[in-house]
Homo-oligomer: A and B are copies of this chain.
């Protein structure tokens, strides 16, 4: 029953909960060695158990000094934000809907005025309008911001 992937998942979540910051940093190769598996097994675990919809963010760097960084999102503390994230499963956001959403984040003081201006400028049709599937892209851009807002280490 307990697959390798499960064991690695448990191991990582344990380490993660032992951290104060909710940020865990390690080497993929080390982890692979601990569990005596191929390195890509780690990627499998990360993508199936530590996705953003499951409340985690993963950053990494290649090359010498490379690392994996797993970041826990405080999904439970911010039900409002989390609800927005789901976005009704919608994969596209119109310009208008996008701006409204940002305005709402402003009102609820999740964002400063300047931050709101930056985001609005970046999801503007004059910038992304010519891209194929602009509304899909806008959705992705906004989602990236929402995920950021859920990070413990964001507010600082």
Binding site for B on A (CB under 8 A): 1-3, 5-6, 25, 64-65, 67, 112-115, 117-119, 121-122, 124, 126-128, 131-132, 137, 140-141, 143-145, 147-148, 154-156
Report copies per complex.
2
Q: A1-B67, A2-B65, A114-B155 are in contact. List 19 more A-B contacts (CB 8 A).
A: A1-B25, A1-B65, A5-B65, A112-B114, A114-B115, A114-B156, A115-B115, A117-B148, A118-B119, A121-B145, A121-B147, A122-B145, A124-B144, A127-B144, A128-B140, A128-B141, A131-B131, A131-B132, A131-B137
Q: Which residues of chain B are within 8 angstroms of A141 by Cβ–Cβ distance? A: 122, 127-128
Q: Is the interface of A mostly helix, strand, loop or mixed?
A: helix
Q: Which residues of chain B are within 8 angstroms of A5 by Cβ–Cβ distance? A: 65
A94 to B92, CA, bound (A): 25
A102: min CB distance to chain B, Å = 11
Contact B140 A127 (CB under 8 A): yes
Q: Which residues of chain B are within 8 angstroms of A140 by Cβ–Cβ distance? A: 127-128
A122 to B144, CA, bound (A): 6
Contact B118 A145 (CB under 8 A): yes
| Complex A-B: 19 CB contacts under 8 Å | A1-B25, A5-B65, A112-B114, A114-B115, A114-B154, A114-B155, A115-B118, A118-B119, A121-B144, A121-B145, A121-B147, A122-B145, A126-B144, A127-B140, A127-B141, A127-B143, A127-B144, A128-B137, A131-B132
